[in-house]
């Protein structure tokens, strides 16, 4: 498997566009289209929030009940969540309009929205945006990049990736883009993620691979502990790579899963590192845990802890906060047996062991914690299970962004 | 029941002191003593964190195994958590020294600490502090106030209260003090709370009343979602009110529980409103829930949400965030049936109902949200259960305080 340039248009048969529709933002691209020239198998995972945005309900229905999908239309600025029947009608109107323009059935059109909750979408501007998208779509890297930029909200960088892998003697390609910066605590974040691939794979195996993957990728990141109403991750597979259809586990399925995990982990880390107000990527790695599930619980607890995040922002080796977060995670362990380490490109130090602080240099600890990517490693000495979670530090800018997000 | 002036020295037979011991802070009181002239029944609740500070382990042992307790010695500045055997030895040395000075057994002495985790207590300064405390103790309101001030860390106000109630034809008094501002998410917060009463009650009924009470008082507050390693709440009852011992449920037990709940709720709200960096008390009241437990889960989820807390700081009627927090709480409900209201001394408005935003005035909403005490009310329309949780807004100062707490 190799990483290549590009994003959602890297795989054969995929086109994209990003246009200005003034849904809420002015003078920037705020609507995106992903389109496949041929029908696609589709798989999806959605927010676990009881309050689900209208586009989540629409997409879940398409993923479960439509024979195939062929396009995704996305807007940023307004989430179309908590919008009742009018919100659902808007999804349908979007799918109808785009379907007509592209000559595909409305139930093959997926929709996604991200932004403020509780406001209705301006259907006239959305419709005008859809017309621009249909006219602008192209299979070029530039078009893919336009789409990746259009879906951003408080994101400071666009997020896309593409890889190639071998399946059944053919070279298959996978491209992806995502957005997500605040309200990020995917259980399945508002993260939106769109993965396109030309591999030939059955719907069942596509959903299986995606559902298994998110547990250790997107579901292991947290910016603020708030699970969005709009989290959506979709994979479209159009089969144009020409490999024999992947219908069972085996070498080809494994190659697909490896590519998928590379893409999802890359994007998950990108999202965490670009969390609202973040000055660094904060990684928690738990090793030696009794079980995989406990390892995940412990790692997530550390990256979700406000006090741990504030310590990372302050480059402060206040290790008690990390240990405290492990302690209230819900997992059982003996604190006397835990070893804690801080690690970054600047080095690694052992900070806690045998139940007490190690004899470490504060200066060295501060240097390690001042890197743009910081890892706290906890060795539980209970078993062989490992898990990694990703978050970011808690800064003044997080508060600033969220105290007046709507204005 | 009536509220009276005073704190831990209000009840008969209780003395207190607060002195400067330079444990970590300079030029301020940082050690406190609470002492009863006669032996007390004692009950306690402690942190649910797997990582328990040495004084928590010491006190749990006293509460469970000692026939009675008679004194509590407290220091602020250093938490004596993650300190291994040396930390436990320090607790024992404190109890021994104080016991000797007061002429009481070491296993009747409770100890409590709050502050930075992972540092060892300076035993020489602690010992010198204990000697000052034993010399300074007095039954006066001033001595109680000194104690309440000495236990503060990042708290901006001291927290104490006293009430009187009738039990068995006698007037009983209950006094209390607590501290807590950061690392506050009691599951059983570092909150420390000390309640003194002269009521005559059996140990069993005392523990029963305390354990039942914390579920709806201290366990319903959150500043930052971080459950401390040191949370400790102790009640000392010395029987000097002269009522017949309360050994069963009944009128006297109910009067005691009412007084206890008044005291704990008062202190819990004080703690939440004085959360690190807080500019206001943020209350979430859930009504019409299917069960008490679901009501608690829903209310807690709202006050714990970073995005909701940031919206409150910004006086921003971004109601979608509150609804979002209800939605990921884990409780099941139909968003279409939820009514949301904002309430404060400036008025009340209906902000969300029938699945969509109400036609409210942004100006009025902002006015209501600009009060020092703000309540979000959620009516679930599912049953008759209610619960209230207390937190605070998320401000720049929270980040500031915690990015360099140790320095």
Model ipTM value: 0.71
Query: Do B289 and B269 fall into the same domain?
Result: no
Chain A, 138-157: which have a CB under 8 Å from a chain B CB? none
Would an 8 Å CB–CB cutoff place A65 in contact with chain B?
no
Q: What is the CATH number of the domain that holds B369?
A: 3.10.20.340
Closest CA to A347 of A322, A375, A320, A318: A375
C-alpha dist (Å) from residue B304 to A50, A248, A306, B378: 17, 44, 11, 15
Of B225, B227, B323, the CB nearest to A117: B323
Query: Do B53 and B142 fall into the same domain?
Result: yes
Of the residues A257, A273, A289, the one at which a domain ends: A273
- Asked if A328 and B187 come within 8 Å (Cβ–Cβ), the reply is yes
Catalytic residues of A: 190
Residue B160, burial from CB neighbour count under 10 angstroms (0-12, 13-18, 19+): buried
Percent pLDDT > 90 in chain A is 63
Would an 8 Å CB–CB cutoff place B262 in contact with chain A?
no
**On the CB side of B97, how many CA atoms lie within 13 Å of its CA?**
22
Q: What is the CATH number of the domain that holds A218?
A: 3.60.70.12
Of B224, B331, B357, the CB nearest to A307: B224
Closest CA to A286 of A272, A277, A297: A297
Would an 8 Å CB–CB cutoff place A22 in contact with chain B?
no
Q: Which residues of B fall within a CB distance of 8 Å from A290?
A: none
Any idea what the Cα angle at residue A195 is, between residues A192 and A199, rounded to 5°? 165
Query: Do B134 and B105 fall into the same domain?
Result: yes
Among A52, A154, A278, A320, the residue to mutate for chain B (most B Cβ within 10 A): A320
Query: Do B235 and B314 fall into the same domain?
Result: no
Query: Do A112 and A227 fall into the same domain?
Result: yes
Residue A245 neighbours by CB distance under 10 Å: 16
Of the residues A240, A273, A306, the one at which a domain ends: A273
pLDDT at B187: 43
Query: Do B120 and B239 fall into the same domain?
Result: yes
Of A49, A81, A323, the CB nearest to B328: A49
CA distance B282 to chain A (A): 15
Averaged over A142-168, what is the pLDDT? 91
Chain A, 182-241: which have a CB under 8 Å from a chain B CB? 182-183, 185, 187, 224-229
- Asked if B324 and A118 come within 8 Å (Cβ–Cβ), the reply is no
Of the residues A238, A273, A308, the one at which a domain ends: A273
Would an 8 Å CB–CB cutoff place A114 in contact with chain B?
no
Query: Do A104 and A28 fall into the same domain?
Result: yes
CA distance A40 to chain B (A): 32
Give yes or no for residue B406 having a pLDDT over 70. no
- Asked if A314 and B182 come within 8 Å (Cβ–Cβ), the reply is no
pLDDT of B118-177, one tens digit each?
Answer: 889 999 999 999 999 999 999 999 999 999 999 988 788 898 999 999 999 999 999 988
Q: Which residues of A fall within a CB distance of 8 Å from B354?
A: 84
Query: Do A322 and A176 fall into the same domain?
Result: no
Query: Do B104 and B239 fall into the same domain?
Result: yes
Give yes or no for residue A182 having a pLDDT over 60. no
Q: Distance between CA atoms of A172 and A242, rounded to whole angstroms?
A: 8
pLDDT at B292: 93
Q: Which residues of A fall within a CB distance of 8 Å from B352?
A: 82, 118
Q: Which residues of A fall within a CB distance of 8 Å from B335?
A: 50-51, 82
Of B50, B119, B407, the CB nearest to A333: B50
Would an 8 Å CB–CB cutoff place A269 in contact with chain B?
no
- A57-61, A87-91, A317-321, B393-397: which has the minimum mean pLDDT? B393-397
Strand partners, B289: B385
CA distance A404 to chain B (A): 6
Residue in chain B nearest A185 by alpha carbon: B328
Total structural domains in chain A? 2
CB pairs A-B closer than 8 Å = 222
Domain that holds residue B108: 2-273
Residue in chain A nearest B117 by alpha carbon: A320
pLDDT at B184: 54
Percent pLDDT > 70 in chain A is 95
Query: Do B232 and B288 fall into the same domain?
Result: no
Would an 8 Å CB–CB cutoff place A41 in contact with chain B?
no
Residue B164 token pair: 């009187």
Chain B, 44-63: which have a CB under 8 Å from a chain A CB? 48-52
CA distance A127 to chain B (A): 22
Query: Do B123 and B198 fall into the same domain?
Result: yes
CA distance B407 to chain A (A): 9
Of B79, B305, B396, the CB nearest to A396: B396
pLDDT of A215-257, one tens digit each?
Answer: 888 888 876 666 677 888 888 999 999 999 999 999 999 999 9
Which of B45, B153, B173, B190 does the annotation list as catalytic? B190
pLDDT of B196-221, one tens digit each?
Answer: 999 999 999 999 999 999 888 888 88
Q: Check: CB of residue B198 under 8 Å from CB of residue B32.
A: no
pLDDT at A401: 74
Q: Distance between CA atoms of A250 and A207, rounded to whole angstroms?
A: 16
Burial profile A289-316: b = 16 or more Cβ within 10 angstroms, e = fewer? bbeeebbbbbbbbbbbbbbbbbbbbbbb
3-state secondary structure chain A: CEEECCCCCCCCCEEEEEECCCCCCCCCCCEEEEEEEEEEEEEEEECCCCCCCHHHHHHHHHHHHCCCEEEEEEEEEECCCCCHHHHHHHHHHHHHHHHHHHCCCHHHEEEEEEEECCCCCCHHHHHHHHHHHHHHCECCHHHHHHHHHHCCCCCCCCEEEEEEEEECCEEEEEEEEEECCCCCCCCCCCCEEEEEECCCECHHHHHHHHHHHHCCCHHHECCCCCCCCCCEEEEEECCCCCCCCECCCCHHHHHHHHHHHHHHHHHHHHHHHCCCCCCCEEEEEEEEECCHHHHHHHHHHHHHCHHHHHHHHCCCCCCHHHHHHHHCCCCCCCHHHCEEEEEECCEEEEEEECCEECCCCHHHHHHHCCCCEEEEEEECCCCCEEEEEEEECCCHHHHHHHHCCCC
Query: Do B248 and B292 fall into the same domain?
Result: no
Averaged over A348-352, what is the pLDDT? 94
Of B51, B224, B404, the CB nearest to A335: B51
Chain A, 349-368: which have a CB under 8 Å from a chain B CB? 352, 354-357
pLDDT of B87-112, one tens digit each?
Answer: 999 999 999 999 999 999 999 999 99
Averaged over A293-321, what is the pLDDT? 88
Run of H or E residues at B307: helix B306-313
- Asked if A336 and B84 come within 8 Å (Cβ–Cβ), the reply is yes
């Amino acid at each position: 498997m190799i990483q290549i340039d590009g994003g959602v248009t890297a795989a054969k048969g995929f086109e994209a566009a990003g246009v200005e529709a003034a849904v809420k933002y002015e003078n920037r691209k705020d609507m995106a289209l992903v389109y496949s020239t041929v029908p696609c198998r589709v798989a999806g995972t959605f927010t676990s929030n009881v309050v689900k945005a209208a586009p989540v309900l629409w997409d879940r229905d398409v993923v479960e009940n439509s024979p195939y999908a062929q396009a995704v239309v996305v807007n940023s600025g307004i989430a179309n969540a908590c919008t009742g029947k009018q919100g659902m009608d808007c999804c349908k109107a979007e799918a109808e309009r785009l379907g007509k323009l592209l000559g595909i059935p409305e139930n093959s059109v997926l929709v996604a929205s991200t932004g403020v909750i509780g406001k209705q979408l301006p259907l006239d501007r959305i419709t005008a945006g859809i017309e621009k998208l249909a006219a602008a779509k192209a299979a070029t890297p530039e078009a893919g990049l336009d789409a990746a930029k259009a879906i951003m909200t408080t994101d400071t960088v666009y997020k896309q990736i593409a890889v190639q892998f071998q399946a059944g003697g053919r070279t298959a390609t996978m491209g992806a883009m995502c957005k997500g910066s605040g309200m990020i605590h995917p259980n399945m974040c508002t993260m939106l993620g769109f993965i396109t691939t030309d591999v030939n794979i059955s719907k069942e195996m596509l959903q299986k691979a995606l559902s298994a993957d998110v547990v250790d990728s997107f579901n292991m990141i947290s910016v603020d502990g708030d699970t969005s109403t709009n989290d959506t991750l979709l994979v479209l597979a159009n089969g144009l790579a020409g490999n024999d259809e992947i219908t069972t586990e085996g070498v080809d399925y494994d190659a697909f899963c490896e590519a998928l995990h590379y893409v999802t982990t890359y994007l998950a880390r990108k999202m965490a590192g670009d969390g609202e107000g973040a000055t660094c990527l904060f990684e928690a790695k738990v090793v030696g845990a009794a079980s995989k599930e406990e390892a995940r619980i412990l790692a997530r607890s550390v990256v979700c802890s406000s006090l741990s995040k504030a310590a990372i922002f302050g480059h402060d080796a206040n290790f008690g906060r990390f240990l405290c977060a492990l302690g209230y995670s819900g997992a059982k362990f003996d604190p006397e047996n835990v070893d804690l380490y801080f690690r970054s490109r600047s080095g690694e130090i052992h900070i806690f062991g045998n139940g007490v602080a190690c004899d470490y240099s504060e200066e060295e600890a501060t240097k390690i914690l001042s890197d743009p990517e910081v890892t706290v490693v906890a060795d539980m000495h209970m078993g062989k299970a490992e898990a990694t979670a990703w978050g970011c530090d808690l800064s003044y800018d997080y508060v600033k962004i969220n105290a007046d997000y709507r204005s």
